[in-house]
Every structure is written in structure tokens, then in C-alpha cells.
């Protein structure tokens, strides 16, 4: 059976009377990659925390395979749903290999010893995320992007059915961003019973290229749109979500939407003032 994680009409507030979102629906099923996008503060991280059970909703519910998520035991839930937070700061020094092996804890026996299958999974996930050469390094000494790939390896080693990833590529260089999104694509689509992946990203172009569906959260406490990228990544919807002019054209090779934000126009006051994009020239030389 294909795993499905579904948030139904969920509302959440950190403080009474100040909801982050109200009556929001979101879902992800095995075999699909879903992008969760929206402006800073719209509630993407909060929604992921609600969907993995770290935050309890005030209204609505989260169902895993049709059953309330809260009815699953901790280990059982961890074997099915894995969550990669936006920021992780381990409290003590561990090697890269040890951090990746932490992902195996829901599968370990009573004495917490790593078996051959655990080590095999850890090795495979380190290779997939290109961190095996870092295996002996102290995690705390890694660069931001290296840390992010190690944490992803750890989550993958958990071998869940559903992956909830909060900005897994925010610190990665352009090559590793594509590598990781391609890996997620393969994990969801290249085998029967593939992962269900719900990924938060601010890179709308990566979301357009790799996600089967996109969820767009707005700053008005609601889900503004949900569907394939063509129906969600439109100028009117994005401009409304971000409260700023957003332009959309087509990638010349892939044909996917190509999204960018317009630079703010400078108020110049009088007609005939120097346009803002010429200001650099005047600063460097000529105008009084
Ligand atoms: N622990 C908390 N206590 C109180 N308010 C919080 C807490 N965590 C987040 N918030 C607030 O809830 C709102 C949603 O935050 P959240 O982190 O979910 O946004 P986000 O969409 O993930 O933003 P970003 O793109 O910046 O990561 C914000 O206004 C934030 O300030
Ligand atoms: Mg966030």
C-alpha cells in the first residue's frame, strides 16, 4: 500500500489569538515529490512540524495511512516519517559516520547495536549524498553545505516512507542543489513504493523542475494554491503570495517555469530624474 501523510483542515497558533495558519490542507504520498513554498514567516516550517507530530494542532488532524499520526508509537512513526529541520545544532561532537548512523535508531535492536544492514544503509546514503569522504570528520567542523548533506544522509538512512525536508538545499552550491534534487527525484520515482517527499524550498525554479505538485502558503494564514507547477507558479498567484511583483517565463531548455522577482522601483520624485539603473554610472564619475 502507498503511504500517505495528510493534514486536514489544520490550524496552529504559537500564541492564543495569533494563528500562523487556519484550516490548511496538505498531503504527500509515496511516489511523489511535493514542494512547499511561500514567503518567510508564512508557516512552512510550522506546517512540517505539525505534519510530523512535533507540534499538536488546535484544530484539524494529521493522518498517516488514514490513521491519526498521534496513535502511532514513537519508533513505529520514525520508521514511517522522517523530518529534517531547517537548522540542526548537535549538542556534542560526533563523527560524520556517527551522525549518519543516528538515523538508524528506529531500526536497531534493544541494545542499540548497529547490524550489517544498518551499516550498509549508512554507507549507501553517504555515497548518495557524496559525503563518504567526510566519514571520519567531526560534524561540527564541516561547512554549512557539507553539514546539510550529512544530515540528509542521516534522514535517508532512517529509510522511512515519507520524508519531510525543511530547506535541505539552502546552504548548497549550485551543483549540489541539482544533485540533491535529482536524488530526491530518483528516490520518489525510480522504484516501486518510492518515497513520498514533501520539501520546503525558496528556490521556485528547482521546485518547478523537480516537484510533481506545489503547495503555496501565503501570509494570509491560508494555502493560496495547490497543484502542478503550471497552475501554481503564475505571476498573479506568486505576486499575491509574496506581496511584490514576481515574473514568470519559461526555461529555454526544460520548458519549466522560470521565476524571478522584479527589483523594487526607486521613487525618484521628479519627472526626468536619473533612472535608478544608471545611478551607478553617476556615482562613479560624472554627475555632480
Ligand atoms: N517557537 C515559536 N514561537 C512563537 N512564534 C513562532 C515560533 N516559531 C515560529 N514562529 C512564528 O510563526 C510564524 C511562522 O514561522 P515559520 O518558521 O513556520 O515560517 P516559515 O514559512 O518556515 O519561514 P522561513 O521561510 O523564514 O523559514 C512566523 O511569524 C514566526 O515568527
Ligand atoms: Mg522555515
The answer to the question of residue 171 being in a domain is: yes
Which pLDDT value is given to residue 273?
A: 43
Q: Which domain holds residue 192?
A: 4-90+156-283
Q: What is the CA radius of gyration of the chain?
A: 22
The residue to mutate among 39, 42, 50, 55, having the most atoms of ligand 1 within 8 angstroms of its beta carbon, is 42
Ligand 1: lining residues by beta carbon, under 6 Å: 14, 20, 38, 40-46, 86
Residues 244-267: tens digit of each pLDDT: 999 999 988 888 889 999 887 776
- DSSP sequence for 15-51: ETTEEEEEEEEEEEETT-EEEEE--TTSSHHHHHHHH
Look at residue 112 and tell me if it is in a domain.
no
Joined together, the cell numbers standing for residue 271 give 519627472
What is the domain-level CATH number for residue 263? 3.40.50.300
> Is the pLDDT at 192 greater than 80, yes or no?
no
Q: What is the mean pLDDT of the chain?
A: 88
Q: Which residue from 180, 142, 139, 143 is spatially nearest to 163, judged by alpha carbons? A: 180
Instruction: Name the β-bridge partners of 10.
Output: 24
Confidence band, pLDDT 50/70/90 cuts, at residue 111:
low
Q: With 60 as the cut, is the pLDDT of residue 208 above it?
A: yes
Count: domains in the chain? 1
Residue 189 lies in a domain: yes
281 confidence band (pLDDT: 50, 70, 90): very low
> Domain for residue 209, yes or no?
yes
In the chain, what is the straight-line distance between the N-terminal and C-terminal CA atoms, in Å? 73
Residue 213: beta bridge partners?
34
176 assigned to some structural domain: yes
SS3 state of residue 53: coil
**Is the residue at 145 inside a domain?**
no
pLDDT category of residue 24 using cuts at 50, 70 and 90: very high
The percentage of the chain sitting over the pLDDT mark of 90, rounded to a whole number, equals: 65
Nearest to 77 by CA among 85, 86, 68: 68
Atom of ligand 1 nearest to the CA of 42: 21
* Residue 130 falls inside a structural domain: no
Candidate from 12, 21, 46 with most ligand 1 atoms within 8 A of CB, to mutate: 46
pLDDT of the residue at 193: 79
Is there a domain that residue 137 lies in?
no
Amino acid at each position: 500500500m502507498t503511504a500517505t501523510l495528510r493534514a486536514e483542515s489544520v490550524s496552529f497558533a504559537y500564541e492564543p489569538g495569533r494563528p500562523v495558519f487556519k484550516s490548511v490542507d496538505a498531503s504527500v504520498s509515496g511516489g511523489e515529490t511535493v514542494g512547499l513554498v511561500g514567503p518567510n514567516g508564512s508557516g512552512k516550517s510550522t506546517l512540517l512540524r505539525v505534519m510530523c507530530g512535533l507540534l499538536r494542532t488546535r484544530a484539524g488532524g494529521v493522518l498517516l495511512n488514514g490513521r491519526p499520526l498521534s496513535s502511532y508509537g514513537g519508533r513505529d512513526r520514525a520508521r514511517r516519517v522522517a523530518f529534517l529541520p531547517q537548522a540542526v545544532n548537535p549538542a556534542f561532537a560526533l563523527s560524520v559516520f556517527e551522525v549518519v548512523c543516528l538515523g538508524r535508531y528506529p531500526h536497531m535492536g534493544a541494545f542499540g547495536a548497529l547490524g550489517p544492514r544498518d551499516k550498509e544503509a549508512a554507507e549507501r546514503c553517504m555515497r548518495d549524498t557524496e559525503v563518504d569522504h567526510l566519514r571520519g570528520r567531526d560534524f561540527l567542523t564541516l561547512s554549512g553545505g557539507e553539514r546539510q548533506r550529512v544530515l540528509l544522509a542521516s534522514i535517508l538512512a532512517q529509510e522511512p516512507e515519507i520524508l519531510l525536508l525543511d530547506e535541505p538545499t539552502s546552504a548548497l552550491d549550485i551543483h549540489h542543489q541539482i544533485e540533491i534534487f535529482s536524488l530526491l527525484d530518483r528516490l520518489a520515482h525510480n522504484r516501486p513504493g518510492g518515497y513520498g517527499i514533501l520539501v520546503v524550498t525558496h528556490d521556485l525554479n528547482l521546485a518547478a523542475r523537480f516537484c510533481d505538485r506545489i503547495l503555496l502558503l501565503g501570509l494570509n494564514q491560508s494555502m493560496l494554491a495547490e497543484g502542478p507547477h503550471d497552475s501554481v507558479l503564475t505571476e498573479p498567484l506568486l505576486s499575491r503570495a509574496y506581496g511584490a511583483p514576481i515574473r514568470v517565463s519559461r526555461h529555454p531548455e526544460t520548458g519549466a517555469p522560470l521565476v524571478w522577482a522584479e527589483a523594487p522601483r526607486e521613487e525618484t520624485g521628479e519627472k526626468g530624474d536619473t533612472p535608478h539603473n544608471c545611478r551607478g554610472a553617476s556615482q562613479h564619475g560624472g554627475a555632480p
